[in-house]
Homo-oligomer: A and B are copies of this chain.
Amino acid sequence: MLPKLDPLLHSELRLAVISILSGVESADFTFLRQQTGATAGNLSVQLEKLTAADYITVEKGFKGRKPCTTCRITPSGLEAFNAYIQALQAYLPGAQK
């Protein structure tokens, strides 16, 4: 039987966010928006879900005098991402068992 995929990560936008954050120390809202092409509303909602799951942390500050929301992946977020990738392998060719 195929393994379950973490539903929190099996979402295009949330996966994109986690993937991006897994490769950098931090990224701000605007950067994530640009990289993913998501609307601000959608991104805001999905970041909230990732935060609620403790997969990321979100810090609100300022860059100059404009608000700036900085996101980071947490250790458990990274762990979940690795587990997701692992599980995903079973869905890819050359994994029939």
Contact = CB atoms under 8 A, between A and B. Distances in A.
Interface of A: 1-2, 4-5, 7, 10, 12, 15-16, 19-20, 22-24, 34-37, 85, 88, 91-93, 95-96
Copies of this chain, count: 2
Contacts of A10: 10, 12
Q: Is the interface of A mostly helix, strand, loop or mixed?
A: loop
24 contacts: A1-B34, A1-B35, A2-B16, A2-B19, A2-B35, A2-B37, A4-B12, A5-B12, A7-B12, A10-B10, A15-B91, A16-B91, A19-B91, A19-B92, A19-B93, A19-B95, A20-B96, A22-B93, A23-B93, A23-B96, A24-B96, A85-B92, A85-B93, A88-B88
Contacts of A23: 93, 96
